[in-house]
Amino acid sequence: MLKDPIKNIDNKNYRPKYGALDIFKFIGPGLLVTVGFIDPGNWASNLAAGADYGYALLWMVTLSTIMLIVLQHNVAHLGIATGLCLSEAASIHLKPRYSNFLLTSAMLASISTSLAEILGGAIALDMLFGIPVRAGAVLTTVFVGIMLFTNKYLVIERWIIAFVSIIGLSFMYELSLVDIDWGNAVRGWVTPAFPDGSMIVIMSVLGAVVMPHNLFLHSEVIQSRQWNRKDEKVIKKQLRFEFLDTLFSMLVGWAINSAMILLAAATFFKTGTPVSELEQANNLLKPLLGSNAAVVFAVALLFAGISSTITSGLAAGSIFAGIYKEPYDIKDNHSRLGVAISLLIALGFIFLITNPFQGLIISQMILSIQLPFTIFLQVYLTSSEKVMGKYKNSSFTKILLYSIGAIVTILNIFLFISFF
């Protein structure tokens, strides 16, 4: 009887026991997705939002988190109901000429994501130790490669949870050093505002929240908690626990992204200091809050870069294996090759790019182009009775998903245009 490599559980006969504390056993897959929500690519946008507009743009984090919860829950629904990740489902249920195009473009998006994440880790190493960006990129790639090629999924998941915890604690420390205007902050979270000149920042934050590789990743890793797809009661419980995991994890992402804006609002906006780059923010924190704050900021960025590079590599392995209608398994050559392609090609591009900031812009442009394909692929598959059976999207859910997909797509198109 075959056991799924990522689950390592005989899911035909195994029946989990559910107790009051079992929700904690399901926490984990959503946090891997959260890493993509707090990756280095989002840091600059959040810091610019707080530095230029204070608390006024906090509502973007609230709105983007709501959209992300809906999309990620839906794609996790696919993994639970079918036992397939998004890449496998595309290969099985679409004609090869369509699936090959979509999944090849998804691999390009994964490479683009890895480029940005590796750069984030390299920039952090430069901040902390003065290591040149290219050398830091090599160190980041090597460390991530060792993590992915020598550890099982559940071990990596525990490491990611630890990294996210460190990032969260780092920003709690930073916020303890500043005076937050909580009244304005609360209003900012729930009241949409469009200050003059803010549309580019709004588009960059909202448009960069949903990332193609995260949609592929969530549908794969959610199956690490899955048992016995033959039992309808078990599937329904899995769906409920998955939603709680997704909700909790996205709220963690909401809190960390909010903390970035709050920190920038209470320091840079208060002193009238514009911020456009991560290195600049780190250097400016030192005279405002002291050297410890700058070090903690760089440490948080390092863990964000490493953890998001790990999840980008995982996603690439899942996408590439799915092309061959296989689940992710780091012991399988297709999964290994997918991980290696994403990390090594991204590293190669970093050596060709002389300006790290330009590299981040290029990576975001590629994501902007590919994202609509992945979103509408997901909605098509999860709305299909052939794919999902009785668990297909309801008419209301379908309309909601297409609306969110359209909004995110339009924002990314405008963001792409803004680069020129």
The alpha-carbon radius of gyration of the chain (Å, integer) is: 20
pLDDT value of position 3 = 38
Domains, the chain, with CATH or none: 41-418 (1.20.1740.10)
- Report how far residue 344's alpha carbon sits from residue 180's, in angstroms, rounded to the nearest whole number: 42
pTM of the model: 0.89
pLDDT value of position 409 = 83
pLDDT value of position 295 = 92
Q: What is the pLDDT of residues 15-59, one digit of tens each?
A: 445 454 565 566 778 888 888 888 887 887 888 889 999 999 999
Give 9's pLDDT tier (boundaries 50, 70, 90). very low
Does the pLDDT at position 322 exceed 80? Answer: yes
For residues 316 and 339, the answer to whether their CB atoms sit within 8 Å is: yes
For residues 86 and 216, the answer to whether their CB atoms sit within 8 Å is: yes
Give 240's pLDDT tier (boundaries 50, 70, 90). confident
* Region 239-260 average pLDDT: 90
Q: What is the pLDDT of residues 359-375, one digit of tens each?
A: 766 777 788 788 889 99
* Region 116-121 average pLDDT: 91
Give 121's pLDDT tier (boundaries 50, 70, 90). very high
Neighbours of 272 (CB within 10 A): 7
* Region 375-391 average pLDDT: 94
Q: What is the pLDDT of residues 271-298, one digit of tens each?
A: 888 887 777 788 778 777 888 888 999 9
Does the pLDDT at position 12 exceed 60? Answer: no
pLDDT value of position 331 = 92
CA-to-CA dists, residue 383 to 56, 219, 402, angstroms: 37, 15, 11
pLDDT value of position 378 = 96
pLDDT value of position 38 = 84
Does the pLDDT at position 7 exceed 60? Answer: no
Compute the mean pLDDT over every residue in the chain, rounded to the nearest whole number: 86
pLDDT value of position 256 = 93
- Report how far residue 142's alpha carbon sits from residue 148's, in angstroms, rounded to the nearest whole number: 10
The residues, any chain, with a CB within 8 Å of residue 153's CB and separated by 6 or more, are 6, 221, 224, 314, 328, 330
Give 420's pLDDT tier (boundaries 50, 70, 90). low
**What percent of the chain stands above pLDDT 90?**
58
pLDDT value of position 65 = 92
Q: What is the pLDDT of residues 181-238, one digit of tens each?
A: 999 999 999 999 999 888 888 877 776 678 889 999 999 988 876 555 566 777 777 8
Phi-psi region of 197 (alpha: psi -120 to 50; beta: other; left: phi over 0): left
Q: What is the pLDDT of residues 137-154, one digit of tens each?
A: 999 999 999 999 998 888
